[in-house]
Structure 1
Amino acid sequence: MRSGMFWRLGAVLAVCQLCGCNLSPTYVRPDALVPDRFPSSAAEGALAPGIPWQSFFHDPVLRDLIGQALLYNRDLAGAAARIEQARAQFRIQRSQRLPGLDASASGQRLRTPLSAADGAPRVTVDSYGLQVGIPSFELDFWGRVANLNEVARRQYLATEEARNTAELSLVANVAASYYAVRASDEGIVLAERSLASRNETLELAQLRMDAGLTSSIDFNQSYALVTQTELQLAQLRRTQGQALQLLQLLVGAPLPPALPPGLPLDPDAQLTRLDPGLPSALLVARPDVRLAEHQLRAANANIGVARALYFPIIALTGAGGYASNELSGLVSDSNRVWSFGAGAVLPLLDWGARRARVDGANAVRDERETAYQSTVQNAFREVASGLVAAEQNDRQIQAQIRAVEVQQALVVTAHDRYDVGLTPYLEVLDAERNHFAAEQNLLQLRAAALQDAVNLYAALGGGQGQREVPVD
Structure 2
Amino acid sequence: MHKVWSVSGRGIAVSALALALTACQSMRGPEPVAQADIPQSYIGSASGTSVAEQGYKDFFADQRLVQVIDLALANNRDLRTAALNIQRAQQAYQISENDRLPTIGASGSVLRQDTMSTQGRGATTTYNVGLGVTAYELDFWGRVRSLKDNALDTYLATQSARDATQISLISQVAQAWLNYSFANANLKLANQTLQTQLESYNLNKKRFDVGIDSEVPVRQAQISVETARNDVANYKTQVAQAQNLLNLLVGQAVPTNLLPTTRVTRITNSTALGSGLPSDLLTNRPDIRTAEYQLSAAGANIGAARARLFPTISLTGSAGYASTDLSDLFKSGNFVWSVGPSLDIPIFDWGTRKANIKISETDQQIALSDYEKSIQTAFREVNDALAVRQNIGDRLAAQRRLVDATNTTYRLSNARFRAGIDSYLTVLDAQRTAYSAEQGLLLLEQANLNNQVELYKSLGGGLKANTSDVVQYPPSTAERKQSNQQ
TM-score relative to the length of structure 2:
0.86
**1:236 matched residue in structure 2:** 235
Which 5+ residue runs of structure 2 have no aligned equivalent?
Answer: 465-469, 476-486
The amino acid of 2:205's aligned partner reads Q
User: Which residue in 1 is equivalent to 2:481?
Assistant: none
1:342 aligns with 2:346: no
Given that 2:73 and 2:166 are in contact with CA atoms closer than 8 Å, whether structure 1 keeps it comes out as yes
Out of 45, 51, 55, the position equivalent to 2:54 is 51
User: Which amino acid letter does the alignment assign opposite residue 41 of structure 2?
Assistant: R
Q: Verify the 8 A CA contact 1:400 1:441 in the aligned structure 2.
A: yes
Q: Distance in 1 between matches of 2:293 and 2:287?
A: 10
| Alignment-mate amino acid for residue 241 of structure 1 | A
Q: Could you tell me whether the CA contact under 8 Å between 2:22 and 2:140 is conserved in 1?
A: yes
Alignment pair present for 1:60 and 2:63: yes
Change (3 A) 1:343 1:111: closer
Q: 1:75 to 1:404 in 2, by over 3 A?
A: same
Letter in 2 for 1:226: V
1:267–1:450 contact (8 Å) kept in structure 2: yes
Q: Which amino acid aligns with 1:251?
A: V
Shift in CA distance, 446/271, structure 1 to aligned 2, threshold 3 Å:
farther
Quote the Cα distance in structure 2 between the aligned partners of 1:7 and 1:29: 45
Query: 2:30 maps to what in 1?
Result: 26
Q: Which amino acid aligns with 2:75?
A: Y
Match of 1:71 among 71, 74, 78: 74
Q: Is the 8 A contact 2:170 2:462 kept in 1?
A: no
- 2:297 partner letter: A
Pairwise CA distance, 1:416: 3.2
Question: What per-residue deviation string (whole Å, max 9, x for no partner) do you get for residues 186-226 of structure 1?
Answer: 11111111211221222222223323333333333322222
Residue 87 (structure 2) pairs with residue 88 (structure 1): no
Query: How far apart are the structure 2 equivalents of 1:217 and 1:112?
Result: 115
Corresponding residue number in structure 2 for 1:292? 291
CA contact under 8 A between 2:183 and 2:238: conserved in structure 1? yes
Residue 86 of structure 2 contacts residue 155 of structure 2 at CA under 8 Å; is this kept in 1?
yes
> What whole-Å deviation, never above 9, does each CA across 1:48-84 have from its counterpart, x for those lacking one?
4332333322223322332222232223222222222
Counting only pairs closer than 5 Å after superposition, residues 163-178 of structure 1 correspond to structure 2 as 163-178=162-177
Shift of 1:183: 0.7
Moved more, 156-165 or 433-442: 156-165
Aligned pair partner of 2:22 in 17, 21, 40: 17
* Counterpart in the other structure of 1:404: 403
79-88 or 440-449, which deviates more: 79-88
**Is 2:301 the counterpart of 1:302?**
yes
Q: Summarize the Cα distance change of 1:84–1:10 in structure 2 as closer, same or farther, 3 Å threshold.
A: farther
Paired position in structure 1 for 2:42: 38
Give the aligned residue type for 2:77.
R
What letter is aligned with 2:22? Q
RMSD: 3.1
CA contact (8 A) 1:17 1:140 kept: yes
> Offset of 1:121 from its aligned partner?
7.4
What is the rounded CA distance, in whole Å, between the counterparts of 2:75 and 2:335 in structure 1? Answer: 60
Question: 2:433 and 2:154 mapped to 1: Cα distance?
Answer: 57
Identity of aligned residues (%): 35
* d(CA) in 1 for partners of 2:263, 2:211: 47
Contact 2:410 2:434 in 1 (8 A): yes
**Structure 1 position 162 matched with structure 2 position 165:** no
Secondary structure of 2:319's aligned partner:
strand
Question: Residue 249 of structure 1 aligns with which residue?
Answer: 248
* Deviation of the 1:291 alpha carbon: 1.3
The offset of 1:331, in angstroms, is 4.5
- The 1:216–1:11 alpha-carbon spacing in structure 2 relative to 1, beyond 3 Å, is farther
- TM-score normalised by structure 1 residue count: 0.88
Alpha-carbon spacing, 1:209–1:23, altered in 2? closer, same or farther (3 Å):
same
TM-aligned CA distance change 1:405 to 1:13, over 3 Å = farther
Q: Shift of the alpha carbon at 1:370?
A: 0.8
Q: 1: CA distance between counterparts of 2:392 and 2:20?
A: 63
CA contact (8 A) 1:48 1:463 kept: no
Q: Residues of 2 paired with 1:366 and 1:333: CA distance?
A: 62
- Rounded to whole Å, the distance in 1 between the matches of 2:199 and 2:461 is 50
For residues 43 and 268 of structure 1, what CA distance do their matches in structure 2 show? 21
Tell me which residue corresponds to 1:100. 103
Q: Does 1:316 align with 2:315?
A: yes
State the alpha-carbon separation in 2 of the partners of residues 47 and 402 from structure 1.
33
Deviates more, 1:168-177 or 1:247-256: 247-256
- The offset of 1:304, in angstroms, is 0.9
* Bigger mean CA deviation after superposition, 415-424 or 428-437: 415-424
Q: Does the aligned pair in 2 maintain the 1:76–1:167 contact within 8 Å?
A: yes
Distance 1:364 1:352 in 2: 18
